[in-house]
């Protein structure tokens, strides 16, 4: 039910943060992984893993550029010898600032990476998955897929869109054996939240809102990603699973 050995995955944004934690977890589960990321670190990623257990490939690409997105997807697919069972769309951007200060350039960049790139990569991967009659697409939502967030209007809008994108694609692709789901991390201990963690006013407010009384770790997210990639979740599609220590239930 939870056996993923021999499966092939593309993970975007896997050079660091939650994406990297999922690369580690999938590698340990015996999955061959191709990581697409804009960071230079992606080029040395393979060396961090034991290729005898399962290969990890790095593909450098800018998912905000459609030509680069398509090229990097093809390169990842070639490295995986033409097969992709799992796509995890983890690359994402946030900028915290009041709505009045958000430039349209920032708005388009955040929506471009967090939504448009996810849509386009999902279509490319699903075309392959449809041929084999099975596949798992896992999108990264957020608690602000549901809540409004504060001082992050473009990000909240993009993560709200991820919830609807996940449901729409699930409705169309479930019949092809492709499950499309999203994970909604809460407040995680990652560089994306460094400013929040170091804010003397907001950090205690955040901590008071978490029923589990701790920030989440990247491993908390990786466990749910493994479940959503495994046969155990074959009848789970079109849903958003919070990994938030109880925040959304509060």
- Which of 145, 152, 135 is CA-nearest to residue 183? 145
Q: Mind telling me the catalytic residues? A: 155
**Is 17 among the residues that bind ligand NAD (CB under 6 A)?**
yes
Nearer to ligand NAD, 53 or 197 (CB): 197
Nearer to ligand NAD, 84 or 152 (CB): 152
Coil, helix or strand for 208? helix
Stretch that binds ligand NAD, among 99-107, 121-129, 184-192, 200-208 (CB under 6 A): 184-192
Angle, helices 153-173 vs 117-132, to 10°: value is 20
**Is 37 among the residues that bind ligand NAD (CB under 6 A)?**
yes
Nearer to ligand NAD, 1 or 198 (CB): 198
- Which of 12, 159, 147 is CA-nearest to residue 91? 12
- Which of 53, 59, 60 is CA-nearest to residue 32? 53
**Is 140 among the residues that bind ligand NAD (CB under 6 A)?**
yes
What separation in angstroms does the CA of 30 have from each of 100, 199, 201, 227? Answer: 47, 40, 43, 14
Q: Which of 25, 54, 113, 225 binds ligand NAD (CB under 6 A)?
A: 113
Q: Are 58 and 35 in contact (CB under 8 A)?
A: yes
Rounded CA-CA distance 134/214 in Å is 37
Q: Are 9 and 84 in contact (CB under 8 A)?
A: yes
Rounded CA-CA distance 240/186 in Å is 12
Q: Are 191 and 248 in contact (CB under 8 A)?
A: no
Q: Which of 28, 39, 70, 239 binds ligand NAD (CB under 6 A)?
A: 39
**Is 56 among the residues that bind ligand NAD (CB under 6 A)?**
no
Stretch that binds ligand NAD, among 31-39, 127-135, 201-209, 227-235 (CB under 6 A): 31-39
Give the number of other Cβ atoms within 10 Å of residue 68's Cβ: 15
**Is 160 among the residues that bind ligand NAD (CB under 6 A)?**
no
**Is 224 among the residues that bind ligand NAD (CB under 6 A)?**
no
Nearer to ligand NAD, 132 or 205 (CB): 205
Nearer to ligand NAD, 156 or 179 (CB): 156
- Which of 139, 155, 156 is CA-nearest to residue 147? 156
**Is 190 among the residues that bind ligand NAD (CB under 6 A)?**
yes
**Is 185 among the residues that bind ligand NAD (CB under 6 A)?**
yes
Stretch that binds ligand NAD, among 23-31, 61-69, 78-86, 172-180 (CB under 6 A): 61-69
Closest approach, Cβ 174 to ligand NAD, in A, equals 23
- Exposure of 103 in the CB half-sphere (CA atoms within 13 A): 3
- List residues binding ligand NAD (CB under 6 A): 13, 15-19, 37-39, 62-64, 90-93, 113, 140, 142, 185, 187-188, 190-193
């Amino acid at each position: 039910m939870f056996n993923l050995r021999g499966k092939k995955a593309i993970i975007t944004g896997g050079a660091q943060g939650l994406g990297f934690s999922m690369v580690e977890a999938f590698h340990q589960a015996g999955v061959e992984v191709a990581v697409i990321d804009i960071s230079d670190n992606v080029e040395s990623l393979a060396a961090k893993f034991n290729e005898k257990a399962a290969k990890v490939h790095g593909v450098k690409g800018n998912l905000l550029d459609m030509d680069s997105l398509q090229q990097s997807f093809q390169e990842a697919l070639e490295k995986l010898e033409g097969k992709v069972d799992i796509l995890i769309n983890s690359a994402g951007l946030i900028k915290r600032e009041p709505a009045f200060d958000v430039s349209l350039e920032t708005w388009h960049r955040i929506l471009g990476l967090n939504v448009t790139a996810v849509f386009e990569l999902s279509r490319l991967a699903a075309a392959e998955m449809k041929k084999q009659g099975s596949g798992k697409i896992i999108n990264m939502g957020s608690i602000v897929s549901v809540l409004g967030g504060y001082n992050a209007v473009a990000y909240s809008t993009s993560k709200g869109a991820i919830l609807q994108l996940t449901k729409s694609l699930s409705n169309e692709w479930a019949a092809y054996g492709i499950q499309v789901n999203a994970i909604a991390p809460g407040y995680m201990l990652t560089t994306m939240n460094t400013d929040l963690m170091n804010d003397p006013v907001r950090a205690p407010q955040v901590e008071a809102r978490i029923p589990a009384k701790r920030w989440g770790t990247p491993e908390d997210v990786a466990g749910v990603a493994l479940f959503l990639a495994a046969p155990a979740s074959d009848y789970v599609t079109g849903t958003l699973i919070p990994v938030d220590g109880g925040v959304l239930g509060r």
